[in-house]
Amino acid sequence: MIVVGAGIVGLAHALAAVRAGARVTVVDRDARANGASIRNFGFITVTGQERGRVWNLARRSAGIWRDVAPAAGIRIEQQGLLVVGQRPEAAPVLDGFMATEMGEGCRRLTASALGDLCPQAHAPAGAIFSPHDLRVESREALPRLAAWLAAAHGVRFRFGSAVVGVETGRVALANGETLSGDAIFVCPGDDWASLFPAVYAEEAITRCKLQMLRLAAPGWRLPAPVMSDLSLVRYLGYAALPEAAALKARLATEAAEALGWGIHLIVVQSADGSLVVGDSHEYGPTPDPFGRADIDAAMLRQYEAVLGAAPAVTERWTGTYASAAGHSIVRAPMAGVHLVVVTSGTGASTGFALAEDVVNGVFGKGEPI
């Protein structure tokens, strides 16, 4: 089998394929993965994902990460999630979430219990602590995952090879070579100009640009990654609950600037204590690559409202992912060719299980999706 793209979605297909008994070659045009999959938080988010299929994909994917990480030498940097409620209107959203099946295993914390767990957090409406989520350092995890797939499963990698054409059973490389495979999984992330542009046009796909910051180690450790009120109106697992209406209305006036830039707060911590803070969301077919200082400042204000004075910014970067309505695009544009694109910014959280479904469908082991 041939996989085009060595981001998390491509590597997830490679893993599912070798587990199904296939010999796999992964082709990527870059010398190493350099797209969304190494620019993200590495936050495998289960809690807050859209209820139903996406939440289930995330739960299964988190299980696969837990299984693969020790074998591949990938450190789990953090476990769990702390979703804090800053405004009174957040409390019913947190309570409403706990009352659903998605709250299973989670704990609802009062403000005082939150203070015991995370003294830095300012959140009068308390919090939810979920044990379901985990975090890896993506810029290290992706190369390790690729190296492990090669060493333990014999996956061959062709980095630095752009794929310029795909047809049933064959992939054409820019250097004139052709690779043959019984099945071809095309996982090109947000590049829709090169392969199957007509499919993307039908799906009305665009790009989403995100700004990210790394802050110096603050001298304390977070008990888990942190999200806050703005996440409660962005992540559909909370935002689709009827209890979210009052919080949405309040934030629409109080946090219009942040909402306008699609900002919500995620704070995760690395092994060296540094914090990764984001993110913003701007949409367009070719977003500019420039990080805006005013967006960074707005994200830091969100940080400071929850966790106090922000340490110095040590890194800034932007990333883009493919964006369209719905969780993902899974299409077979020709026999034996499968195009798989996560269009909801959740590839690290859901990619492993999505790939398992796609590959098992091809092998006749599951329902085709």
- Choose the stretch contacting ligand FAD; rule: CB under 6 A; options: 37-45, 250-258, 281-289, 329-337: 37-45
Q: Is 191 in the site for ligand FAD (CB under 6 A)?
A: yes
Q: Is 74 in the site for ligand FAD (CB under 6 A)?
A: no
Cβ-contact 173, 325 below 8 angstroms: no
| CA torsion angle 249 129 114 92 (round to 10) | 30
Q: Is 27 in the site for ligand FAD (CB under 6 A)?
A: yes
Among 319, 328, 337, 362, binds ligand FAD (CB under 6 A): 319
- Choose the stretch contacting ligand FAD; rule: CB under 6 A; options: 4-12, 98-106, 256-264, 356-364: 4-12
Q: Is 33 in the site for ligand FAD (CB under 6 A)?
A: yes
Please identify the residue of the shown chain whose CB is closest to the bound ligand FAD.
Answer: 7
Residues 6+ apart with CB under 8 A from 125: 84, 85, 86, 87, 88, 90, 91, 94, 111
CB-based burial, 270-285: b 16+ in 10 Å, e otherwise: beeebbbbbbbbbeee
369 vs 363: CA distance, rounded Å:
12
Q: Is 5 in the site for ligand FAD (CB under 6 A)?
A: yes
Judged by beta carbon, residue 47 or residue 320, the one nearer ligand FAD is: 320
User: Residue 176 CB, nearest distance to ligand FAD (Å)?
Assistant: 14
Q: Is 189 in the site for ligand FAD (CB under 6 A)?
A: yes
Q: Strands (DSSP E) along the chain, which ranges? A: 2-4, 25-28, 43-44, 78-84, 107-109, 127-135, 156-159, 163-167, 170-173, 178-180, 184-186, 206-215, 226-227, 266-269, 275-278, 282-284, 313-334, 337-344
> Could you report how far apart the first and last alpha carbons of the chain are, in Å?
19
- Choose the stretch contacting ligand FAD; rule: CB under 6 A; options: 77-85, 182-190, 243-251, 304-312: 182-190
Q: Is 7 in the site for ligand FAD (CB under 6 A)?
A: yes
* Helical pair 244-254 and 90-98, crossing angle rounded to 10 deg: 150
User: Residue 52 CB, nearest distance to ligand FAD (Å)?
Assistant: 17
Q: Is 210 in the site for ligand FAD (CB under 6 A)?
A: yes
β-strands 266-269, 226-227: how paired?
antiparallel
Judged by beta carbon, residue 133 or residue 229, the one nearer ligand FAD is: 133
User: Locate tokens 């910051």: which residue?
Assistant: 213
Count of alpha carbons within 13 angstroms of residue 84, beta-carbon side: 30
Among 26, 36, 93, 128, binds ligand FAD (CB under 6 A): 36
Q: Computed from CA positions of residues 168, 320, 43, 128, in that sequence, does the dihedral angle turn out positive or negative?
A: negative
Q: Is 321 in the site for ligand FAD (CB under 6 A)?
A: yes
Q: Is 262 in the site for ligand FAD (CB under 6 A)?
A: no
Q: Is 206 in the site for ligand FAD (CB under 6 A)?
A: no
Cβ-contact 328, 198 below 8 angstroms: no
User: Residue 274 CB, nearest distance to ligand FAD (Å)?
Assistant: 16
Q: Is 329 in the site for ligand FAD (CB under 6 A)?
A: no
Among 79, 194, 274, 360, binds ligand FAD (CB under 6 A): 194
Among 8, 109, 233, 267, binds ligand FAD (CB under 6 A): 8
* Nearest alpha-carbon partner for 228 in 132, 167, 301, 284: 301
User: Residue 113 CB, nearest distance to ligand FAD (Å)?
Assistant: 26
User: Residue 342 CB, nearest distance to ligand FAD (Å)?
Assistant: 4
Q: Is 323 in the site for ligand FAD (CB under 6 A)?
A: no
Cβ-contact 295, 278 below 8 angstroms: no
The distance of Cα 310 from the centroid of its chain, to the nearest Å, equals: 24
Residues at the interface with ligand FAD (CB under 6 A): 4-10, 27-30, 33, 35-37, 39-41, 43, 45, 162-163, 187-191, 194-195, 210, 212, 279, 319-321, 342, 345-349
